[in-house]
């Protein structure tokens, strides 16, 4: 019991130290994960990294995906891999960028497919808060990264944590749309039951692969058709 309290204290210290924000229902669902030894080690690593140099996203945005999309509201899961490592890009939601930031290539391709698929105009902002607030969990497998060093925080515990997130969704919710783009996301989302959810798979929207099946996948209209079929409100993409 004493050990568990120490581990949870480490998590709450991170919340306070970085002004991290996360929806209350996610805090409760993930409380067991926050109390595990690996997560305490991860917290200490992350705190040291932010103290030593430039790390993205901003500390308060590390758990932005869980703040903007409470568990109760969740309807769609999109899985990314690593935050953008360029200055001013990462904002805590996979594929998303802040207001006024030029669209990275993968995000450009996502918007192109949305436009072709649904007719929605390509937006002027790459900030995907508007999706998250409608119930789209935009989850990176790794939630932090050192500036200009892709995958620099991989293998430190984030993957174990986000595996637990996907597992929590898969065991507690049905009627969820999983958009799994690329082999990495497909492996991470493999736990989801295709009999009780909609599993949409394609290649990654990166320019290296987008013409091999991402363009024309029609995932956005398929997601909305499925949500309507299970009595849930559709997403305004």
pLDDT confidence bin for 15, thresholds 50/70/90: low
Mean pLDDT of the chain: 93
In this predicted structure, the answer to whether residue 115 has a pLDDT above a threshold of 50 is yes
Q: What does the pLDDT look like over 181-220, one tens digit per residue?
A: 999 999 999 999 999 999 999 999 999 999 999 999 999 9
Q: What does the pLDDT look like over 146-165, one tens digit per residue?
A: 999 999 999 999 999 999 99
Query: Which residues are part of the catalytic machinery?
Result: 82
DSSP codes joined into one string, the chain: -HHHHHHHHHHHHHHHHHT----HHHHHHTHHHHTSHHHHHHHHHHHHHHHHS-EES-GGGTTHHHHHS-GGG--EEEEESS---STTT--SSTT---TTPPPPHHHHHHHHHHHHHH-PPPPS---THHHHTTTEEEEESS--EETT-TTTTTTSSHHHHHHHHHHHHHHH--S-EEEEESHHHHHHTTTS-TTTSEEEEE--SSTTTGGGTTTT--HHHHHHHHHHHTT-PPP--
Is residue 158 within 8 A of residue 95, CB to CB? The reply is no
In this predicted structure, the answer to whether residue 96 has a pLDDT above a threshold of 70 is yes
In this predicted structure, the answer to whether residue 1 has a pLDDT above a threshold of 50 is no
pLDDT of residue 16: 58
pLDDT of residue 4: 45
In this predicted structure, the answer to whether residue 7 has a pLDDT above a threshold of 60 is no
In this predicted structure, the answer to whether residue 17 has a pLDDT above a threshold of 60 is no
Is residue 212 within 8 A of residue 203, CB to CB? The reply is yes
Q: What does the pLDDT look like over 43-89, one tens digit per residue?
A: 999 999 999 999 999 999 999 999 999 999 999 999 999 999 999 99
pLDDT confidence bin for 119, thresholds 50/70/90: very high
């Amino acid at each position: 019991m004493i050990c568990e309290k120490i581990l949870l204290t480490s998590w709450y210290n991170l919340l306070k130290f970085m002004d991290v924000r996360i929806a209350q229902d996610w805090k409760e669902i993930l409380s067991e994960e926050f109390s595990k030894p690996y997560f305490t080690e991860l917290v200490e690593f992350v705190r040291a990294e932010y103290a030593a140099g430039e790390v993205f996203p901003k500390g308060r945005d590390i758990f932005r995906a869980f703040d903007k999309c409470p568990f109760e509201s969740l309807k769609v899961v999109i899985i990314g891999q690593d935050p953008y490592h360029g200055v001013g890009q990462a904002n805590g939601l996979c594929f998303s960028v802040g207001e006024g930031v030029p669209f990275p290539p993968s995000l450009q391709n996502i918007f192109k497919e949305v436009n072709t698929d649904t007719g929605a105009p390509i937006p002027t902002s790459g900030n995907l808060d508007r999706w998250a607030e409608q119930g789209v969990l935009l989850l990176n497998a790794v939630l932090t990264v050192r500036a200009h060093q892709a995958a620099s925080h991989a293998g430190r515990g984030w993957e174990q944590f986000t595996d637990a997130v996907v597992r929590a969704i898969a065991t507690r919710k049905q009627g969820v749309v999983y958009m799994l783009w690329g082999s990495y996301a497909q492996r991470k989302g493999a736990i989801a039951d295709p009999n009780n959810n909609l599993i949409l798979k394609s290649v990654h929207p990166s320019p290296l692969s987008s013409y091999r099946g991402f363009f024309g996948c029609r995932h956005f209209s398929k997601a909305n058709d499925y949500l309507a079929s299970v009595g849930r409100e559709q997403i305004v993409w």
